[in-house]
A and B are shown apart, each in its own frame.
Chain A
């Protein structure tokens, strides 16, 4: 069955960095676009970034552009999110998600909590 297992969340100080990893299994990883989506009680769901199956096409939300970098390793069935210059507003549950054929998210992994606080 499809599994997306996220690691790397935690508590970080403002201005700090964190790297999220997502290990995929149960499907042909190289066939799918992948994404990171975050959720907060106040701002709801925000699609942070996506990356094409080859890694050539990438998009970021304006709120994270220039600070976050999405990448993937198709040989290791893994997705990453490097988060730099973190702010309090980046505090959220971060989901690794598979993008389906219609740019909807057809499978969500379990979330990981990122807390940015001094």
Chain B
């Protein structure tokens, strides 16, 4: 099983700031990686798949990059609605696993 490790676990940032979240895989997952956003009381929402492709309706301030074992999600200018928990997930051979999440909090 491939283990996904996200860092940091939490981050306090101010609206308008640029933020970069990291996700590391224990073995290569090629570009088979997705990012999700989850707000309290809601189901997760797909943001990025194939490491860098934005899902339908996702604003361009969200971008993803990486391949192999190192991936990043960047939010170029944080909006109030972006404060949430972010998860990465690989789909490079079953079982598909998720990271433990990074919580973005308002500073």
Residues of A with Cβ closer than 8 Å to B?
44-47, 59, 61-62, 95, 100, 102-111
Contacts and interface: CB of A to CB of B under 8 A. Distances in A.
B1 to A, nearest CB: 8
Contact of B36 (A46, A61, A105, A109): A105
Contact-size category for B? 20 to 34
A44 B100 contact: yes
A45 B44 contact: yes
Nearest to B36: A105
A1 to B, nearest CB: 12
A44 B91 contact: no
Contact of A47 (B43, B46, B96): B96
Nearest to B35: A104
B43 A104 contact: no
B96 to A, nearest CB: 5
B101 A106 contact: no
A103 B32 CA distance: 8
B90 to A, nearest CB: 9
Nearest to B98: A45
Contact of A62 (B36, B56, B95): B95
B44 A104 contact: no
Nearest to B1: A62
B45 interface: yes
Contacts of B97: 46-47
Contacts of B56: 106
25 contacts: A44-B98, A44-B100, A44-B101, A45-B44, A45-B87, A45-B98, A47-B96, A47-B97, A61-B95, A62-B95, A100-B49, A100-B55, A102-B32, A102-B91, A104-B89, A104-B91, A105-B44, A105-B46, A105-B89, A106-B56, A108-B43, A108-B44, A108-B45, A109-B43, A110-B43
Contacts of A108: 43-45
Nearest to B97: A47
